[in-house]
Amino acid sequence: MTNHVITGAKLTDGTTTDLYVRDGILVDEAPADAQRIDADGLIALPGLVDLHTHLREPGREDAETVASGTMAAARGGFTAVFAMANTDPVTDDAEKAEYIKLLGERDGHCQVQPIGAVTKNLDGKELSEMGLMARSGAQVRVFSDDGKCVMDPLLMRRALEWVRPFGGVIAQHSQDSSLAGPGACCHESEISGRLGLGGWPAVAESVIIARDVQLAELTRSRLHVCHISTAEGVDVVRWAKKRGINVTAEATPHHLFLGTREVEGYDTTFKVNPPLRTDEHIEAVRQALADGTIDIVGTDHAPHAAQDKDHAFADARPGMLGLEQALSVVMETMVNTGRMDWSTVVDRMSATPSRIGGLTNQGQPLTPGNPANLVLVDPSARHTVDRSQTASRSRNNPYHGRDLPDPVVLTMFGGTVTYQR
């Protein structure tokens, strides 16, 4: 393993320092045989952590693999991702979770931590082997049927009860489909009516969050709200936190930046679930991320092969890429507007997602003794996003053609440089 000396890096507190890396660990003296990395003008952050990634392997390697997805993650400054369970086969037992862990160790350009399914085969009928997954070599702590909502309230209660003894968390896709209908594919608004697209009302999100936070209070367990996208949902989470309920929430980059108007051209790149919302919801999500009501940024990186997007809008698969431009979007919407400083970025994109997911080796300060998981950021660089240049196997990048910050200069995972511009 190559040792490193990173010179002239600026930390989030404004100080400038040199960072020394030996055998994958930050140390307090420069190794004699170190490779020098000039970080003059760059900001050093702990490696980013994504609690919500779809890597598609096994089952849909035409859309993404662990290798390609984690390379996209490294390009985005991430040193760990949590892999959602909706693969084929579904990650719903210990053997499958350990296989995902093995794929990450073999092919990954960052740490890959499996997420286990809440229900067997994501069917919403019978709990998966959550306890066995937690005790397995994969050490699963986050469980989700993401892509589907756990609709049965008794099943959701039992899931929350089941994970409490080992400190697990249920990550819910909060969306009541009975309030929308099978053709829902757009935020319910004037635009959905004009375009003739089935609408998802904002209340379809908030009613599930309201139910689940009360179940979390009843069971004294942990709930995580995936991809919160509405002002109503934010209000419920804020109420729950004031009551002391153990709930956390995430916002995606696309719900911070993109709005319902994007779908007016019926471009299926912008079909996502939950849907892109109107301005009042975007503002509510931004404010909640800034004030801590929303705890983290989760990318919901959802690669799709061309044949899954090349349909009429209502029939196309929902989802969009997110890993490579996540920090860019957070900079554009939150940092450059003065809503968040770099210390808050570290909290929302590194320290807190690590804590929620139980990763003790990630999200740590850049001090001697901690793993050398870090990203060097150029706060002034910009570029025009080109989807053809992505590391992902898919091209459903909603930021294509947009001028955005281009912050990531170098990513280091466990002392190994996984990306360098």
* Separation of alpha carbons 35 and 314, rounded Å: 52
* Cα–Cα distance, 136 to 408 (Å, whole number): 35
Alpha helices in 302-394 (DSSP H): 306-309, 326-330, 342-346, 352-357
The token duo for 316 is 């196309």
> 3-state SS of the chain: helix, strand, coil percent to 5?
35, 20, 45
DSSP string covering 148-169 = S----HHHHHHHHHHHGGGT-E
Q: Report CA torsion sign: 60, 110, 346, 390.
A: negative
Active site residue 13: no
How many angstroms separate the Cα of 258 from the Cα of each of 194, 225, 252, 271? 19, 20, 10, 11
For residue 213, what are the CA distances in angstroms to 145, 172, 203, 224?
17, 11, 15, 9
Quote the CA–CA distance of 272 and 119 in Å, as a whole number: 23
Residue 194 CA to residue 136 CA, distance in Å, equals 51
Mention every residue, 6+ apart, whose C-beta is less than 8 A from residue 124: 145, 148, 150, 151, 152, 155
- Among 10, 7, 26, 5, residue whose Cα is nearest residue 372: 26
Alpha helix segments (H runs only) across 92-227: 94-107, 130-135, 153-163, 190-195, 203-219
Determine the Cα angle at 149 with ends 148 and 151, to 5°.
130
Query: CB burial class (10 A; 0-12, 13-18, 19+) of residue 389?
Result: exposed
Residue of 93, 300, 308, 347 marked catalytic: 300
Backbone angles phi, psi at 282, to 5 degrees: -60, -45
Residue 368: cis peptide before it, omega within 30 degrees of 0: no
Contact between residue 290 and residue 333 where contact means Cβ atoms under 8 Å apart:
no
Catalytic residue set = 300
